[in-house]
Structure 1
Amino acid sequence: MINQFIWVIFPYLCVAIFIVGHIFRFKYDQFSWTAKSSEFIEKKQLMWGSILFHLGIIPVIFGHIVGLGVPAEWLSAIGVNDHMYHIGAVYIGSIFGIVTLIGMFLLTARRITKENVRRLSSASDILVNLLLLAIVFMGCVATLWTNATTPEFDYRQTISVWFRGLLIFKPDAALMTHVPWTFKAHIILGLFITSIWPFTRLVHVWSVPLNYFSRSYIIYRKHKTN
């Protein structure tokens, strides 16, 4: 029953909260839809942490999409064998994962140790930073340590199949039974942050200012005084 709740009910519950929460916040609380920048308080650590985090997280997300969403058979059909995939997922993925972890560590340390930044931060801001740090850390542990100590485990035959089952509403909780605890912790933390996403500063991810590139120029005219 616990296995069924964690790997079937809990994921759908988190996604439901994610969708409904975003709709509710956008409709009733648009003025708080912001990243609440604290750049004017401290800039150097924010700059390096933000650069490293975003430089790493984009390839990491792309790697998750491929690893979870694309069946191994499909990759083999286009010439990507298990060895090639292993090199990309473990070695290249680990590099970007560590870059993301360093960036997230700098951002979290800044938010907690810089007094003025901490005063400006809400409880949800600190929670999000700690959760993201934990998620990235567990992802690195699962990739580096678990793959080294449990080389026979293949997440593409367990976690990936379970994930695609969720997408087509045919989840199989049994697939997650023998998954190493590091991967399970990484997934559960990821699902949890998905559920609180609409109620935190993470909503700014969806506010990409694409109209910035096409908007009209702002013309400034000097005011002539007598």
Structure 2
Amino acid sequence: MLDQFLWVIFPYLCVAIFIVGHIWRYRIDQFGWTAKSSEFIEKKQLMVGSILFHFAVIPVFLGHIVGLFIPAHWMSAIGVNEHIYHLGAVYVGGFFGIVMFVGMFLLTFRRINNKSVRKLSSASDMVVNFLLLFITFIGIYATLVTNNIVTDFDYRQSISVWTRGLVTFSPDASLMTDVPLTFQIHVLSAFLIFALWPATRLVHAWSLPFNYVGRSYIVYRKHKK
């Protein structure tokens, strides 16, 4: 029963909250659909942390898409054998994961350490920062440590198949029962962040500033006392 909840009910519940929550948030809180930048308070740590995080998050995301949704035999068909894939997943994925973690650590440290930024932060901001930091850390640990300890584990034969089963509405919870704990925690915490997404500043990820290139300059003038 617990396995059915964790690996069938909980993922679908999180996805449902993700979809319905975004629709609800957009309809009633468009003015709150923002990243709530605190750049005017502190810029250096924000710039470095944000650049590192956003530089790494895209390849990390694409790596997860390849690993979870493209079957192993498809990769073999185009010449990417198990050894080559493993090197890419561990070393390339590990590199970008570490860069993402450093960026997220700087952003989280800034939010805690800077008194002014901390005062402007909501409870959801703190939760999101710590949860993203934890998800990144446990993902790196699973990739670089667990994979070397549990050498006979292949997530493409378990987690990937289970994920594709979710997409086709035929999930098999038994595929996740023998998955190492670090991978299980990584998966569950990732679904949790999806459920929290609509209620946090993460919604700004869907707001692409296409009009930024052509907009007029904003003029700032210093107030003379």
Q: TM-score, normalised by structure 2?
A: 0.95
TM superposition shift of 1:38: 0.3
* Alpha-carbon separation, structure 2, partners of 1:219 and 1:116: 25
TM superposition shift of 1:210: 1.9
* Alpha-carbon separation, structure 2, partners of 1:46 and 1:29: 26
* Alpha-carbon separation, structure 1, partners of 2:126 and 2:198: 15
TM superposition shift of 1:55: 1.1
Tell me which amino acid in the other structure corresponds to 1:98: I
Tell me which amino acid in the other structure corresponds to 1:83: H
* Alpha-carbon separation, structure 1, partners of 2:20 and 2:218: 41
* Alpha-carbon separation, structure 1, partners of 2:60 and 2:218: 41
Is 1:41 the equivalent of 2:41? yes
What are the residue-to-residue correspondences of 1:43-192 with 2, within 5 Å? 43-192=43-192
* Alpha-carbon separation, structure 1, partners of 2:65 and 2:85: 13
Tell me which amino acid in the other structure corresponds to 2:29: D
TM superposition shift of 1:57: 1.0
Deviations 1:173-202 (A, max 9, x none): 000010000000101110111001000000
CA RMSD in angstroms comes to 1.3
Tell me which amino acid in the other structure corresponds to 1:137: F
TM superposition shift of 1:216: 5.9
Deviations 1:22-48 (A, max 9, x none): 001101110100000000000111111
Structure 1's consecutive aligned runs of 4 or more residues displaced over 4 angstroms after TM superposition are: 216-220
* Alpha-carbon separation, structure 1, partners of 2:141 and 2:39: 31
Structure 2: 5+ residue runs without aligned partners? 220-225
Q: TM-score, normalised by structure 1?
A: 0.94
* Paired positions, count: 219
Tell me which amino acid in the other structure corresponds to 1:50: S
Question: Which secondary structure state, in structure 2, belongs to the residue aligned with residue 39 of structure 1?
Answer: coil
* Alpha-carbon separation, structure 2, partners of 1:111 and 1:219: 27
* Alpha-carbon separation, structure 2, partners of 1:197 and 1:39: 22
Change (3 A) 1:28 1:149: same
Tell me which amino acid in the other structure corresponds to 1:105: F
Deviations 1:62-117 (A, max 9, x none): 10000001000100011100011001000111000000000000000000111000
TM superposition shift of 1:212: 2.8
* Alpha-carbon separation, structure 2, partners of 1:13 and 1:153: 28
Structure 1: 5+ residue runs without aligned partners? 221-226
What is the aligned partner in structure 1 of residue 31 from structure 2? 31
Deviations 1:113-136 (A, max 9, x none): 110000000000010000000000
* Alpha-carbon separation, structure 2, partners of 1:25 and 1:58: 25
Change (3 A) 1:199 1:216: closer
Question: Which secondary structure state, in structure 2, belongs to the residue aligned with residue 152 of structure 1?
Answer: coil
Question: Which secondary structure state, in structure 1, belongs to the residue aligned with residue 153 of structure 2?
Answer: coil
Deviations 1:194-225 (A, max 9, x none): 00100000000000112334x365699xxxxx
What is the aligned partner in structure 2 of residue 223 from structure 1? none
Question: Which secondary structure state, in structure 2, belongs to the residue aligned with residue 148 of structure 1?
Answer: helix
What is the aligned partner in structure 2 of residue 224 from structure 1? none
* Alpha-carbon separation, structure 2, partners of 1:160 and 1:63: 12
Deviations 1:122-179 (A, max 9, x none): 0000100000000000000000010110111000000000000000000000000100
